[in-house]
Amino acid sequence: MKQELVALTGNDAVAYAFKQAKPHVASAFPITPQTEMMHKFAEFIANGEVDTEMILVESEHSAMSAAVGSCAAGARTITATSSAGFALMWEVLYIAASLRLPISMAVVNRALSGNINIHNDHSDAMGGRDAGWIQLYSENAQEAYDYGLMAFRIGEHPDVRLPVMVNYDGFIISHTADALYMLPDAAAYDFIGPYKPAYSLLDVENPITIGPLDLTDYYFEHKVSEMEAHNKAFEIVRAIHEEFGHLTGRTYDFFEAYRLDDAEIVLVILGSTAGTAKDVIDEYRERGVKVGMLKVRLFRPFPAAEIASALSGMKVVGVMDKSVSFGGWGGPVFTEIRSALYQSLNGMPPVHNWIYGLGGRDTDMNQIAEVIEALREIAQGKPMDPVNLLGVRL
Amino acid sequence: MSLKTAHEIAEAGIITEAGNAEEYKTGDWRTFVPQFVEENCIHCMFCWIWCPDSAIEIDTSGEKPLVTGIVLDHCKGCGICAHECPPAKKGKSALVMVREEK
């Protein structure tokens, strides 16, 4: 497939992807650094490039509520948010997933207040990791664009029917111009296809009730079907990754294994920091140090078996978390990875955690090197606390 | 009514049949129960209109509907029927709330 090489910010790239999906409804409330994504999308509507009903609401709680109503009416629906806006959506995130409404949402990751901070970390999305949404994390504008397209296919698949978050780092990805390949509109829509809703509130021939009182007798059973939808999502995500790979030549998997085959020391990273880490890993490789990286793309559902299999036999694993679970033992990615590895008793490497980059603290190559140096010492038997902080004045 | 398993129920708990609230029995929520005093009833249908559930039993076979009693499977004992009963305002209520002995 011939694709155009363009320079776009992450926000514009995702706006293009959403435009190519021809959503019926967009509902959104502005918040930095997401705002420019919906600005761009509104521009497409104003220019007649996409025929989407834009609902401007008074808060993110309303944005997600409007998205739920719209999607339940049978409309392909998009929204977007960041940080505090994400937090305000929180109650309705669960409702969207419980009602099995495949809303596609761009989450432009930003720190949570307080104190107020507009820069990137993953605190917002990690606060919604248990809400029942599929979570995809992007390293750059290309991945944000690609997942902006794939989100519709994954979420709307009849065996899945779950809402999907496309996560990309605020400012670092959202506001930085980056080179990426874009599919032509027709090819992108051919890939996504029209939305075939499972039910519609506007179908007066088949009236239904959604979201009724669900108490001790059936609530648990309904949660089971939601859990099973997440389990089924693995094979669907894999199949859509493959199909997208054939179409674009860009291969995707639940995670990217970067120089992992013969690695002894492994970093586990989500999002844009993975790009920085690749350069550091390349430098270490030139010096003969066997470092690799597992970059998690699909965090919900969490591909525990595949990750455990990729990491077992490694000498040491360093998990980097760009969010903190206050009072918890390490960050959310760390606890997940460690828990996954506990199953693989043949060769469970020591797993250490670094909390980094909170509130957008710059994470440069020196910091990544610091983690690699620490992991090398751990591999040689030096005792070290499992949970550590990186790039902060102590 | 036997309960269905997780795999026998509609996705997302959607209710696809209309008017099936009748199958949901709420009669065991009650503390007070209305007693129907037939000789005081003027069959105005206020209780039937006001009842938040479907607990007022009526007979519609004749020219005008008649109140015939209370459906205890659905009555939650809220007392709205007794409060709204017009004869009650003249001291001759057709619906009297009494504490239910279980």
The ipTM estimated for the assembled molecules is 0.83
Q: What is the pLDDT of residues B81-91, one digit of tens each?
A: 999 999 878 88
Q: Any chain B CB within 8 A of the CB of A212?
A: yes
Closest CA to A82 of A131, A38, A46: A38
Identify whether residues A53 and A121 lie together within a single domain.
yes
* Domain match, A244 and A266 both: no
**pLDDT value, residue B10:** 87
**What's the Cα-to-Cα distance from A236 to each of A12, A76, A224, B22, rounded to whole Å?**
27, 19, 19, 40
On whether both A183 and A313 belong to a single domain, the answer is no
Summarised one tens digit per residue, pLDDT across range A105-132 is 999 999 999 999 999 999 999 999 999 9
pTM, rounded to two decimals: 0.91
Check if A210 contacts B (Cβ < 8 Å). yes
For residues A214 and A174, the answer to whether their CB atoms sit within 8 Å is no
Per-residue model confidence (pLDDT) at position B81: 96
Percent of chain B with pLDDT over 70: 98
Residue A208 sits in the same domain as residue A260: no
User: What's residue A230's pLDDT?
Assistant: 98
Final residue of a structural domain among A248, A267, A299: A248
Residues of B in contact with A222 (CB under 8 A): 6, 9, 12-13
Q: B16 and A100 in contact by Cβ < 8 A?
A: no
Q: Phi/psi of residue A154, each to 5°?
A: -70, -55
The distance from CA A379 to its chain's CA centroid, rounded to whole angstroms, is 31
Closest CA to A2 of A142, A241, A181, A240: A181
| Shared-domain flag, residues A159 and A18 | yes
Domain span at A60: 4-248
* CATH code matching the domain that covers B26-99, chosen among 3.30.70.20, 3.60.15.10, 3.40.50.300, 2.40.50.140: 3.30.70.20
| pLDDT given at position A344 | 67
Which 8-state DSSP code applies to residue A209?
A: B
Which of A190, A218, A248 is the last residue before a domain boundary? A248
Q: What is the pLDDT of residues B89-98, one digit of tens each?
A: 888 999 999 9
Strands A316-321 and A164-169: unpaired
Q: Domain locations in chain B?
A: 26-99
The residues of B whose Cβ lies within 8 A of any Cβ of A are 3-7, 9, 11-16, 18
Residue written as token pair 């029917």: A161
pLDDT on residue B1:
60
What is the pLDDT confidence band of residue B28, given thresholds at 50, 70 and 90? confident
Give chain A's domain count: 2
d(CA A284, CA A279): 9
Model pLDDT, residue A33? 98
- Over residues B28-45, the mean pLDDT reads 94
Last residue of a domain, one of A248, A282, A316: A248
Cβ-proximal residues to A175 (8 Å cutoff; 6+ apart), any chain? A9, A10, A11, A33, A36
CB atoms inside a 10 Å sphere around CB A209: 14
A56 and A171 belong to one structural domain = yes
The CATH number given to whatever domain includes residue A373 is 3.40.50.920
Residues A78 and A167 in one domain: yes
Contact A208 B4 (CB under 8 A): no
Q: How many CB pairs under 8 A join A and B?
A: 44
Q: Which residues of chain A have pLDDT under 50?
A: none
- CATH code at position A178: 3.40.50.970
Q: Are residues A209 and A285 in the same domain?
A: no
DSSP string computed for A230-260: HHHHHHHHHHHHHHHHHHHS----SEEEES-
DSSP assignment letter at A341: H
- Give the pLDDT band (50/70/90) at residue B101: confident
